[in-house]
Structure 1
Amino acid sequence: MLFNSIDFAIFLPIVFLFYWFVFKKNLKQQNIFLIIASYVFYGWWDWRFLFLIVISTLIDYFIGKLLANENNPNKRKFLLWLSIIVNLGFLGFFKYYNFFLENFIEAFSWLGSPISLRSLNIILPVGISFYTFQTLSYSIDVYRKKMKPTNDIIAFAAFVSFFPQLVAGPIERATNLLPQFYKNRVFNYSKAVDGLRQILWGLFKKVVIADNCAYYVNTIFENHEDYSGSTLFLGAVFFAIQIYGDFSGYSDIAIGTGRLFGFKLKQNFAFPYFSRDIAEFWRRWHISLSTWFRDYLYIPLGGSRGAKKQQIRNVFIIFLVSGFWHGANWTFIIWGALNALYFLPLLLSNKNRTHIEIVATNKNWPSINELLRILITFILTTFAWIFFRSESITDAFNYIIGIINWSIFTIPQIRPTDLLILILIFIGIEWIGRQGKYAIENLGFTWKRPIRLLFYYMLIILVFWFSRNDQEFIYFQF
């Protein structure tokens, strides 16, 4: 079920009304109802994939219980590895089986010993990369004794399947979200209104900005040999804006929806395109995944400790794995490697934590130096996005070659004036609200009420006016 669909527009109010008016006096009933609603939400795509969520839920729940009663280090490691193998086994089979098979066949062909193996017609379950990491982090935290395992299987199942963030995050840690299923939740009008405001902004980013950028991005990338360098550059910029509007828009809708039901989900984006270097960008982009890899892979490998060789190795591992997490294609691995190369100079010069606070804090404008850093970081990121968006490495290099010629100084062949104006307005609002959790969190509170309401109504009108037939979110494929 898509957030930007009629189905969800009907589903959400029904779930909201039952949750607060029918089951509000019984916590367990509320949690059971959330599980049912979440399974309906997920099963809307394909009910067969519900079995994967149920199996993952049961395995990690019982492994957590067993870890609580086991003191033998070897048996504890066995239980942890059982959770890792089962969860990553599901992910590996559905997401990477054909990728490894095709590369295995190509490797033998290159060595002069061609073999014939048949690939499988595997459908990738929506959101498997997200809920797999969510349940896996629970088992790891219980193993590390950072949290006690739950005895409430209902609460745990609700935590795993919670529908707002089930399909594309944020990837919640059990330490943050699971305890919220133990506590009685009381409806809070101001938090609900704030949640609706964040949902509205998320829909604007997705429907008005991302989906309309997607129309031109698809046209330019699929026919890149027909366009000038300036048009290809514009297409790459549009994709950078599209993927941000699409994914951060989903996160805003998820977080806002969670707030409607009395839950606090973690912030997943913090205005990443205002970053002054690539290290700051990765602290602000897909925060839940970046911190997951940091805590469960980068730090256990040694992090930024040890010799420079180890630090370089760890950086490449974390970015290559991050690239591979996104999809079974060499383009994602190249994308990860590029970001590692961007990151290395900052790490080696100990400048990777120079910019912690948002740019121009408590100021209206950035300095010239800050503006140049933002532009350079954005261009580097946009260049890497070309590999992310391309169907193959060959397509990516051909696209880049198409940009790097004298035609980059010509006027683009595609000039959607209305979209460019909307993007400028969007960037302006994001800049004004960059110190909040989302752009319009505090915007307009000093305005007169009619003007503030007019602003919200204008956003709603734009969402309906620019709607493009319920396009799926980009990260559903991951």
Structure 2
Amino acid sequence: MVFNSLQFLVFFGIVTSAYFLLAHRFRWILLLAASCYFYMAFVPIYLVILLVTIIIDYWAGIYLEKFEGRAKKLFLAFSLIANVGVLAIFKYYGFIANNVYHLAYLFGREVHLPSLSILLPIGLSFHTFQAMSYTIEVYRGNQKAERNFGIYSLYVMFYPQLVAGPIERPQNLLHQFYERHVWDSVRVRAGIMQMMEGLIKKVVIADRLAILVDSVYASVGTHSRGQLLLASFFYSFQIYCDFSGYSDIAIGAARVMGFKLMDNFNAPYAAKSIPDFWRRWHISLSTWFKDYVYFSLGGNRVSVPKWYFNIMLVFIVSGLWHGASWNFIIWGFLHGIFQLIGFTLNRFFPQLAANYADGLIRGIFYRVLTFSLVSLAWVFFRLVHFSEIKAYFKQLIFDLPSNSLLGMNSNEVLFSILLVFGLYYWDFKGLALRNIRSQYFVFLLPFLVAIIYFFGVFSLKQFIYFQF
């Protein structure tokens, strides 16, 4: 059940109406049942896999609170191994087996690991990381263990953010399931407006850009340099609108019912540096890695070589989190390199760090440079096979200079460019439909519905981050 479907619109309307009609003590049961139905709408067996990890982490949390010392560490290790083990089996086993085979072949050996024909559960990396944050926070003493099994299950399965985040922390979300939420027309309107903003990003911008992007990336070797550059430019905004659109709908849907989820994006393409980009992009994941991996390794409170190693490791693991494929590892590696180059330049030329934000021209330069580096890395994110990546850069470098957009619908290109620059201005100015004054809601909502109806692409294209 995808957010950009009539099925979800009906589901959301029924669940939200029932939520406010029910007595407070029954609402968590409704949300848990609705979340189970929502997840089973993809593939029912996924729920069994999710239930196994929920049971393990629920009891691990209770025992983490009861024990100290070595026993406490063992329970944490058991929980983390169980969660990472599920990821390893369903997401990484094929990748590991394939690489073991090729590595053995290089040394003249043959190793055949058994093959597993299993589907990757939707959103596995998201709810696994959310579950891991719970046990880690209980272990650290920052969160009390949840005794209500149903409430804990709801923490992991809360349907708005179950499939693609934001990846919540227990301190932010768990207590909200106990709070009494009343109908607040101002909050409800703001939530609906945020959902509309997310839908526009998805069906009007992302899925429209996808038409052009997919046509070029399907055969990169047959397109001109101009087409490749334009497709890469569009893909940067496609993936942003696709993912932030999901986050807006998730946050808005939760907001209507009275829940506050963390913001996941903050105008990432307005960033003036790669570190600034990662403070704005997929905030719930970047802060997860910072808090649970980077700081655990010592962060920047270590020697410079160890610090650089910590940065590279975090970004490579982040790339691997996105997918069991070398192109994602390279994508993470590139962002790690960008970070290290930036830190090194700032270390030896501190005036760069002190002055990079000064002046209009300087600000534009750094924004364009950051966007260009991010877009370069997105090529490795979008193209899975090395043959495709090789063809892309071969065509980009050796194609004769050409501005031709032959084969691309010029009206679609122009309309897409207008959408992208309109979105960039909207983001740069920090505008948001959820902040529109309440008195304009009645007039604005039909207008937004009309925009979605007339300009949207209704192919029910899945959100890009569902595969992770």
Fold conserved between structures, TM > 0.5: yes
Secondary structure in 1 matching 2:295: helix
Match of 2:42 in 1: 45
1:81 equivalent to 2:77? Answer yes
Matched to 1:26, the amino acid is H
Match of 1:392 in 2: 385
Pick which of 50-59 and 36-45 moved more: 50-59
Match of 2:394 in 1: 401
Aligned partners of 2:224 and 2:402 also within 8 Å: no
1:428 equivalent to 2:426? Answer no
Distance in 2 between residues matched to 1:253 and 1:374, nearest whole Å? 28
2:404 to 392, 398, 411: 411
Unaligned runs of 5+ in 2: none
1:267 equivalent to 2:258? Answer no
1:124-273 to structure 2, matched below 5 A, reads 124-273=120-269
Structure 1 pair 336–477 and aligned structure 2 pair: CA distance change class (3 A):
same
1:443-454 to structure 2, matched below 5 A, reads 445=437, 449=440
Aligned partners of 2:209 and 2:416 also within 8 Å: no
1:321 equivalent to 2:317? Answer yes
Alignment RMSD (CA, Å): 2.2
Secondary structure in 2 matching 1:404: helix
1:30 equivalent to 2:27? Answer yes
**How far is the alpha carbon of 1:56 from its aligned partner?**
1.6
Matched to 1:54, the amino acid is L
Aligned partners of 2:318 and 2:332 also within 8 Å: yes
1:339 equivalent to 2:335? Answer yes
Give the length in aligned residue pairs. 462
Deviations 1:118-172 (A, max 9, x none): 4221100001100000011100010011111122222211111100000000000
1:103-118 to structure 2, matched below 5 A, reads 103-118=99-114
Could you tell me the TM-score, scaled by structure 2's length? 0.94
Aligned partners of 2:216 and 2:228 also within 8 Å: yes
Match of 1:363 in 2: none
Could you tell me the TM-score, scaled by structure 1's length? 0.92
Distance in 2 between residues matched to 1:408 and 1:304, nearest whole Å? 45
**How far is the alpha carbon of 1:117 from its aligned partner?**
3.8
Structure 1 pair 26–453 and aligned structure 2 pair: CA distance change class (3 A):
closer
Secondary structure in 1 matching 2:143: coil
Structure 1 pair 408–158 and aligned structure 2 pair: CA distance change class (3 A):
farther
Matched to 1:467, the amino acid is V
Matched to 2:14, the amino acid is I
Structure 1 pair 116–52 and aligned structure 2 pair: CA distance change class (3 A):
closer
Task: Using the aligned pairs only, state the percent identity.
Answer: 38
Distance in 1 between residues matched to 2:100 and 2:323, nearest whole Å? 17
Distance in 1 between residues matched to 2:433 and 2:418, nearest whole Å? 16
Matched to 1:298, the amino acid is Y
Distance in 2 between residues matched to 1:253 and 1:94, nearest whole Å? 28
Structure 1 pair 175–190 and aligned structure 2 pair: CA distance change class (3 A):
same
Deviations 1:69-117 (A, max 9, x none): 112x110010000000001101110000000001111111122223344
1:94 equivalent to 2:95? Answer no
Match of 1:56 in 2: 53
Deviations 1:40-88 (A, max 9, x none): 00000111110122222221111111111112x1100100000000011
Matched to 1:457, the amino acid is P
2:460 to 464, 470, 475: 470
Structure 1 pair 158–354 and aligned structure 2 pair: CA distance change class (3 A):
farther
Matched to 1:472, the amino acid is Q
Distance in 2 between residues matched to 1:420 and 1:311, nearest whole Å? 45
Pick which of 408-417 and 284-293 moved more: 408-417
Distance in 2 between residues matched to 1:352 and 1:31, nearest whole Å? 54
1:369 equivalent to 2:362? Answer yes
**How far is the alpha carbon of 1:423 from its aligned partner?**
4.2
Distance in 2 between residues matched to 1:326 and 1:309, nearest whole Å? 26
Matched to 1:378, the amino acid is F
Aligned partners of 2:197 and 2:433 also within 8 Å: yes
Secondary structure in 1 matching 2:119: coil
Aligned partners of 2:206 and 2:241 also within 8 Å: yes
Deviations 1:360-385 (A, max 9, x none): 9xxxxx81211111111111111100
**How far is the alpha carbon of 1:456 from its aligned partner?**
4.2
Distance in 2 between residues matched to 1:408 and 1:194, nearest whole Å? 49
Unaligned runs of 5+ in 1: 361-365
Distance in 1 between residues matched to 2:448 and 2:371, nearest whole Å? 26
Structure 1 pair 188–433 and aligned structure 2 pair: CA distance change class (3 A):
farther
Deviations 1:192-234 (A, max 9, x none): 1001001001001111111111112111111111111110111
Aligned partners of 1:346 and 1:352 also within 8 Å: no
Aligned partners of 1:127 and 1:476 also within 8 Å: yes
Structure 1 pair 434–152 and aligned structure 2 pair: CA distance change class (3 A):
farther
Distance in 2 between residues matched to 1:373 and 1:82, nearest whole Å? 45
Structure 1 pair 407–462 and aligned structure 2 pair: CA distance change class (3 A):
farther
Aligned partners of 2:330 and 2:380 also within 8 Å: yes
Pick which of 153-162 and 258-267 moved more: 153-162
Aligned partners of 2:206 and 2:242 also within 8 Å: yes
**How far is the alpha carbon of 1:422 from its aligned partner?**
4.5
**How far is the alpha carbon of 1:405 from its aligned partner?**
3.5
Matched to 1:171, the amino acid is I
**How far is the alpha carbon of 1:440 from its aligned partner?**
2.6
Structure 1 pair 136–70 and aligned structure 2 pair: CA distance change class (3 A):
same
Aligned partners of 2:191 and 2:434 also within 8 Å: no
